[in-house]
């Protein structure tokens, strides 16, 4: 999945768009507004890593999710953020915001949207 495809999928579902827009805003404070659509594409590598390598919080025990987050996300920031042209502090801010958004997700419809997005990521990696 490309950042553009991700952007298109996300913007069609408010259960995805709103949390990812907030994560993008955390990545670029004070620069949201007319560029919300483009900003969602900026958070693509963070969202992809979180969803593919850490997972969704409701699919893990809370302590396990916390440990996965601590070890995997921070290691990714330390080792991979340059590949995506991200400032490590901004990537961390976006990731932490996304984590908070995911942890607040309790509605079945919203959880289903996130689970479908994970499946789309998996399908695109298999191709």
The pLDDT profile of the chain, 127 residues, written as one tens digit per residue, is 988 899 999 999 999 999 999 998 888 765 555 456 667 888 899 999 999 999 999 988 888 888 888 888 888 888 776 777 778 888 888 899 999 999 999 999 999 999 999 999 999 888 7
> Between vectors from CA 124 to CA 74 and to CA 40, what angle results, nearest 5°?
55
State the pLDDT at residue 34. Answer: 43
Question: In this structure, are residues 114 and 16 in contact, taking their beta carbons and an 8 Å threshold?
Answer: yes
Question: In this structure, are residues 62 and 69 in contact, taking their beta carbons and an 8 Å threshold?
Answer: no
**Domain housing 26:** 3-126
- The tokens describing 31, both together, are 């620069």
What's the total number of domains in the chain?
Answer: 1
Question: In this structure, are residues 40 and 21 in contact, taking their beta carbons and an 8 Å threshold?
Answer: yes
For residues 50, 52, 56, 59, the Cα torsion angle rounded to the nearest 10 degrees is -150
State the pLDDT at residue 35. Answer: 57
Question: In this structure, are residues 23 and 47 in contact, taking their beta carbons and an 8 Å threshold?
Answer: yes
């Amino acid at each position: 999945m490309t950042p553009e495809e991700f952007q298109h999928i996300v913007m069609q579902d408010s259960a995805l768009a709103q949390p990812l827009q907030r994560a993008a805003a955390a990545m670029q404070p004070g620069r949201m507004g007319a560029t919300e659509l483009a900003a969602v594409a900026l958070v693509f590598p963070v969202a992809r890593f979180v969803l593919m390598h850490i997972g969704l919080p409701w699919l893990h025990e809370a302590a396990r999710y916390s440990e996965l987050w601590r070890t995997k996300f921070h290691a990714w920031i330390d080792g991979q953020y340059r590949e995506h042209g991200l400032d490590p502090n901004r990537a961390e801010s976006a990731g932490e915001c996304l984590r908070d958004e995911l942890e607040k997700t309790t509605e079945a419809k919203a959880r289903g949207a996130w689970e479908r997005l994970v499946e789309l990521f998996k399908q695109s990696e298999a191709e």
